[in-house]
Amino acid sequence: MTARSILNASDQGQARFSARPFCAIPTTAMKPILTLLFCCVAALQCRAAECLPLKVGNPEGNYIVPGVRGEIVYQRVGNVSLALDAYVQKRGTKRPALLVIHGGNWDSGSRAAFIGQQLELLTRAGFNWFVVDYRLGGLGNYQTSLADLRAALSFVRCHAREFRIDADNIALFGEDTGAHLAALLAAERPAGVTAVALIGGQYDLHQIPSLKTQANSLLTEASPLSRISQPMPATLVVHGANDREAPPEQARQYCDRLRTSGAQCQYLSVEGAIHRAENWPPHQWAYKEELRGWLTAQMRLSQADHQPYVTRLRKDIVYDAERNLKLDAFTPPGAGPFPVVLIAHGGGWEAGDKVTYVTPLFATLAQAGFAWISLDYRLTPQVRNPEQLADVRNAVRYVQQHARELRIDPQRIALLGESASGQLVAQLAVDGSLKIAAVVPFYGVYNFELMARELTPRSIPTRLFGITKLDDEARATLRRFSPLHTLGKTALPMLLICGTKDGLFVQQQEFTAALEKAGIAFDQVTLSGAPHGMENWEGHPEWMSYKAQLVAWLRAKLANRA
């Protein structure tokens, strides 16, 4: 089957996953008690028939939170197997649980993308949770996505005892287009759902600028605002006040309409925040505690005693005590020492953390036999670009100094960055300050001069270097921190990866031309039609080849030559 036909696979057999148990035994000739008995037996048989067995495909989990049960298939449709990851707290029975639904503009994303920060939050809050893959294909395919989510909810409730959850106290938790789908599912009043938490969602699709070309009938049919029914579960709507992709007004209207219908709805505006919670910088993270408090109260969580699992994924190792900078480290089974990939997240130098944006790489590297380490570094406006470069250098040196403890080979280290951190790692690749084996910049910034056409308080030259006037000194500063202009006669081996629909692709072309002119060897992976951000590549088989190419290149550069 082609990628497109897989995404649009038939829903044959789907009804049996979403149907609720019922009793079809005639009652006219039975006494009431006997009728009830037969009905109960029939319901249990129906439930058993509709529920796939609980089989953990990956005991290593999702590589974001230790102790996750990974790759649990909850539904098969034709040749497509759909999976979820599950986290079950060490302690407690019949805990409230959350079904987590990723976003991605209805056509991209996965259970490993977009939601790393939220999974950490829910884990530490004491909840059990399930994060779900579902079929994509664009807004026009939303009914298929909903059918998958119904099946996932049914599967989770069916295995409530094994997951140690309360099957009648489940919240839907969605972000971006996952919030849109969660709101539509909530309008169906599915059994077991008591609460809904929505972050940055789309509720009146007529007000979403990117959907202006869609048919009005589809926009009306697929708008949660037009689906509100009674009684709806209690709802929390979290939205960025500066969101231009999903305007806050349509989110407020949705919450107001819920209240008018008699449902509980709390609206939480995040001041200054743009679209997507993963793009919100740390000073906007106060919403997390409000979200946690609302869920705890609404779902009556009484066992918040989270006890972390001890696995090969070690969380929050402090590599800079003075600045409280941390890293997460995964080491494969065995004695080692292993080749290691250090990962720095993107986020415009001002947002993100070690479980943001880069999470699609974790499983790829781990399953290929690499150790990997994902690091935090200081963000603007607290610091500027030179301090961020210093943090990444310090992280590399920490790993080299603690190689034995981490079971990694200090001679086989690669440094990887994406977007903003693509600039950081590329700069370190050309400035000669690191003794490592290789560097991988994804869709990096290589020439800051191209970003200095207009200076505002939010412009990159101002935020990163304090430049308010573009004079000779300012140009010299921009060139000094641009890998394109710092390039000498030597550089660390580099693999550059970018999509052709990325606005930074032109910068990669300029940089590779300079590398060729300087006679410096490099490799590159170009993904035709791919946009900015590896999280947006998830769900697109035509772009997934980069993972195998990355692994092959790293194996060649980090080969044990002892």
User: What pLDDT, on a 0 to 100 scale, did the predictor assign at position 230?
Assistant: 81
Q: What is the DSSP letter of 139?
A: G
User: What pLDDT, on a 0 to 100 scale, did the predictor assign at position 35?
Assistant: 38
User: What pLDDT, on a 0 to 100 scale, did the predictor assign at position 38?
Assistant: 37
* Structure confidence by residue, pLDDT tens digits, 505-556: 999 999 999 999 999 989 999 999 999 999 999 999 999 999 999 999 999 9
Average pLDDT on 318-344 reads: 97
Average pLDDT on 355-366 reads: 98
Average pLDDT on 225-252 reads: 96
CA torsion sign for 503, 506, 509, 510 is negative
Average pLDDT on 153-182 reads: 98
Average pLDDT on 454-478 reads: 96
User: What pLDDT, on a 0 to 100 scale, did the predictor assign at position 13?
Assistant: 31
Does 52 or 92 have the greater pLDDT score?
52
| 3-class secondary-structure state, position 74 | strand
The whole-angstrom separation of Cα 221 and Cα 428 is: 51
Nearest CA among 496, 494, 552, 556 for reference residue 526: 496
The b/e string for 127-146 (b: 16+ C-beta within 10 A; e otherwise) is: bbbbbbbbbbbebebbebbb
Which fold, 13-34+51-298? Rossmann fold (3.40.50)
- Read off the pLDDT band of 41 (50, 70, 90): very low
The pTM of this model reads 0.90
381 upstream amide cis, omega within 30 of 0: yes
User: What pLDDT, on a 0 to 100 scale, did the predictor assign at position 560?
Assistant: 82
Q: How does the average pLDDT of the chain come out, rounded?
A: 91
Query: What stretch(es) of the chain map to CATH 3.40.50.1820?
Result: 13-34+51-298, 313-447+492-557
Residue 44: how many other CB atoms lie within 10 Å: 11
456's tokens: 């505002």
User: What pLDDT, on a 0 to 100 scale, did the predictor assign at position 302?
Assistant: 83
- Read off the pLDDT band of 7 (50, 70, 90): very low
- Read off the pLDDT band of 382 (50, 70, 90): very high
34 pLDDT above the threshold of 70: no
- What is the DSSP pairing of strand 408-418 with strand 338-344? parallel
Which segment of 3-17, 158-172, 361-375, 406-420 scores lowest on mean pLDDT?
Answer: 3-17
Say if CB 200 and CB 246 are below 8 A apart.
Answer: yes
Angle at 486 between CA 480 and CA 489, to 5 degrees: 155
Say if CB 327 and CB 317 are below 8 A apart.
Answer: yes
17 pLDDT above the threshold of 70: no
The whole-angstrom separation of Cα 523 and Cα 533 is: 19
115 pLDDT above the threshold of 70: yes
267 pLDDT above the threshold of 70: yes
User: What pLDDT, on a 0 to 100 scale, did the predictor assign at position 305?
Assistant: 86
Average pLDDT on 146-175 reads: 98
User: What pLDDT, on a 0 to 100 scale, did the predictor assign at position 488?
Assistant: 87
Tell me the percentage of the chain whose pLDDT exceeds 70: 91
User: What pLDDT, on a 0 to 100 scale, did the predictor assign at position 229?
Assistant: 85
Nearest CA among 130, 48, 122 for reference residue 83: 130
The whole-angstrom separation of Cα 156 and Cα 154 is: 6
The b/e string for 509-536 (b: 16+ C-beta within 10 A; e otherwise) is: bebbebbeeeebebbbbebeebbbbbbb
Angle at 64 between CA 60 and CA 69, to 5 degrees: 35
3 pLDDT above the threshold of 80: no
Which fold, 313-447+492-557? Rossmann fold (3.40.50)
User: What pLDDT, on a 0 to 100 scale, did the predictor assign at position 562?
Assistant: 55
User: What pLDDT, on a 0 to 100 scale, did the predictor assign at position 489?
Assistant: 85
Which segment of 38-42, 58-62, 116-120, 139-143 scores lowest on mean pLDDT?
Answer: 38-42
Residue 479: how many other CB atoms lie within 10 Å: 14
Largest Cα separation within the chain, whole Å, is 96
**Inter-CA distances, 258 with 122, 232, 263, Å:** 25, 8, 5
Strand partners, 172: 99, 196
Tell me the percentage of the chain whose pLDDT exceeds 90: 88
